[in-house]
Amino acid sequence: MRSDQNQPLPRLDVLLCAPRGFCAGVDRAVQIVELAIERYGAPVYVRHEIVHNRFVVDALKAKGAVFVEELDEIPETGQPVIFSAHGVPKAVPAAARDRRLLYLDATCPLVSKVHREAEIQHRKGREVVLIGHAGHPEVVGTMGQLPPGAVSLVETVADAERFVPQDPAALAWITQTTLSVDDTREIVAALEKRFPAIVPPHKDDICYATTNRQEAVKAVAGQVDAMVVVGAPNSSNSQRLREVAERAGCPRSFLVQRAAELDWSAIGPIARLGLTAGASAPEVLVEEVIAAFAERYEIHLESVRTAEETVAFNLPRELRQSAAE
């Protein structure tokens, strides 16, 4: 805070990365929960965090959403259960049908595309190599589309170099949608060097929003003294933004969920700040961070846009009428 009210605040140029924040898949998932509560009333059950953002989850809880990790936490009910944007293994909707639960699938359509790619390659007799992070819900969901052993997870270049396939001539690779574009390129190159016959996905699996947000960070990182990424620590795409900023030349890069997490001593004296948000972070949290800096600096905002986003995804059939109303 300002120590002397009579002293002018130091100037801070804030370069706002654009695009940033909510992507079409996250926006659709949040809408599904909100519209389900409107149509069916509370409670509406959601398996896993609908998106990786505590602010969003808490706001939906306040409206009547009940979050669970597994279906067996849900009582016998006629109320719907919603599957998160990250996607789920095939066993989950099968279990919901066994219990006669009404379920709505909020899986991002771009994640569903990866699921279909995995199934197609498996049907063609190929072992599927999934590039992703172990334990991430999206990876769990994608691996759960195929029988055990049909998908091999590769996380790093080192993994790719020691991977032993069942048949080197019958391989295909797919990826988690929220990875570092540059890291993934290196892993793919290692796989293709060892296995020239490995089949790529029909279209790049890393989603447009992940790519666009990383490109915006790259455009800003070399121009600023510090970068703040608004996002959750368990958000893959947010973590990748922080890493991309560091690699692109930003000396200090921080991931925060809220303005209250800003570590002013670590940020130190700065004249230019880069600011972005992961795909599951709402813009209100970006504005909160700007307000926190405005208490200490005279803020000058500049938007640095590297792409326009016009993508929108259809809602589930059951909720389209509610959305129209």
CA distance linking residue 103 with residue 100, whole number of Å: 9
Backbone phi and psi for residue 64, each to the nearest 5 degrees, phi listed first: 125, 10
CA distance linking residue 320 with residue 128, whole number of Å: 35
- Told to judge if 138 belongs to the known catalytic residues of this protein, a careful annotator would answer yes
- Please pick, among 138, 215, 287, 309, the residue that the annotation labels catalytic: 138
Sheet holding 171-175, edge to edge: 151-154, 127-131, 171-175
CA distance linking residue 97 with residue 229, whole number of Å: 40
- Provide the 8-state DSSP code for 172: E
Q: Which two tokens stand for residue 71?
A: 């279906």
Q: Is 211 within 8 Å of 181 (Cβ atoms)? A: yes
| Nearest alpha-carbon partner for 26 in 309, 324, 322, 321 | 309
Cα 238 to the center of its chain, rounded Å: 7
CA distance linking residue 232 with residue 222, whole number of Å: 24
- In the chain, count of helices (H) and strands (E)? 12, 12
Q: Which two tokens stand for residue 169?
A: 């001539």
Q: For residue 75, say if its preceding peptide bond is cis, omega within 30 degrees of 0.
A: no
Distances (CA, A) of 24 to 239, 283, 318: 19, 14, 19
Q: Which two tokens stand for residue 39?
A: 């149509």
Backbone phi and psi for residue 79, each to the nearest 5 degrees, phi listed first: -75, 150
Task: Report the catalytic residues.
Answer: 138
